[in-house]
Amino acid sequence: MYVSLQITGEEDVLDALKKGVEIKLVLVDREEDCSEIIDLCNSMDIRVVEGSSTDLWRMSANGQQKALALVEREPLGTLEEVFERDGAIWLFDGVEYAPNLGFGVRTAEVSGATAVIINVSKTHEERRTIRRASMRATRFIPVVYATTDEILAACNRRIVVAEDVGGKAPWEVDLTGDVLLVVGAENAGVSKEVLDAADEIVRLPMPGFIPSYNLQVAVSALAIERIRQIQSE
């Protein structure tokens, strides 16, 4: 079974803090009095992020709340650090369009991934666009920028690529455990370098006339299949 990474609501967050639950980050409503939570977090060296009421509502798993806590996943990390952690890491290989990257980051975060890696350099303004398009999910999941050579050298897990040349459907391949999941740009696809390093190449069924899914759809399809497989274990 998969485990939710969110503790929802002021009372539950306070209770978790007092019980010593390992909390990675707390998001509080800047328009509400959350001083008790903030003071506890400061005393325990837990990072606190302030957001608007709308922000909290969008992020909450259960309606409007004053506070939410992130557990299990470290929200920051270098390339080497994220590969030391368990779970699924996403590589968006050669994806240039910043809004698509942001949508992909949001999907990776909500599906419980460990981190996202991007191998295309982005300007400060493009990174802002990625953050906005992700609904600022970048606060809760590491987004690492690195070259393809650096990524493949650091990779310590199976590599599963989604690409047209794949001979299997996603549900015919094991997507559980520690895995690097790779999707590419709509036009160029996944690079030969990454394809050559892949342990498995899957193909998403595309019976329509236009043989290409949007990046976010491809990420969603693989992420949901991974969750289904985990729940079936």
The pLDDT tens digits for 136-146 are: 999 999 999 99
Place 168 in a pLDDT band, splitting at 50, 70 and 90. very high
Averaged over 4-13, what is the pLDDT?
Answer: 95
List every span in the chain annotated with CATH 3.30.1330.30. Answer: 6-71
Placement of tokens 């290409």 in the chain: 212
Helix (H) or strand (E) holding 144: strand 143-145
Averaged over 96-111, what is the pLDDT?
Answer: 96
* Token pair of 113 as six digits: 């991934």
Rounded Cα distance between 210 and 143, Å, is 30
Give 93's strand partners.
Answer: 184
Whole-prediction pTM: 0.92
Give 183's strand partners.
Answer: 92
Rounded Cα distance between 55 and 65, Å, is 10
Place 228 in a pLDDT band, splitting at 50, 70 and 90. very high
List every span in the chain annotated with CATH 3.40.1280.10. Answer: 79-232
Contacts of residue 125, Cβ cutoff 8 Å, sequence gap at least 6: none
Placement of tokens 């929200």 in the chain: 75
Closest listed residue to residue 92, CA positions, set 134, 156, 136, 148: 148
Task: Give percent of the chain with pLDDT exceeding 90.
Answer: 89
Placement of tokens 């160029």 in the chain: 188
**Range 79-232 has CATH code 3.40.1280.10:** yes
Decide: 218 and 204 in contact? Cβ < 8 Å: yes
> Would you state the pLDDT for residue 211?
77
pLDDT for residue 231 is more than 90? yes
DSSP-derived 3-state class of residue 151: helix
Q: State phi, psi for 217 to the nearest 5 degrees.
A: -65, -45
Helix (H) or strand (E) holding 159: strand 158-162
pLDDT for residue 105 is more than 80? yes
Q: Which CATH number fits domain 6-71: 3.30.1330.30, 3.40.718.10, 3.40.50.1370, 3.90.1150.10?
A: 3.30.1330.30
Place 3 in a pLDDT band, splitting at 50, 70 and 90. confident
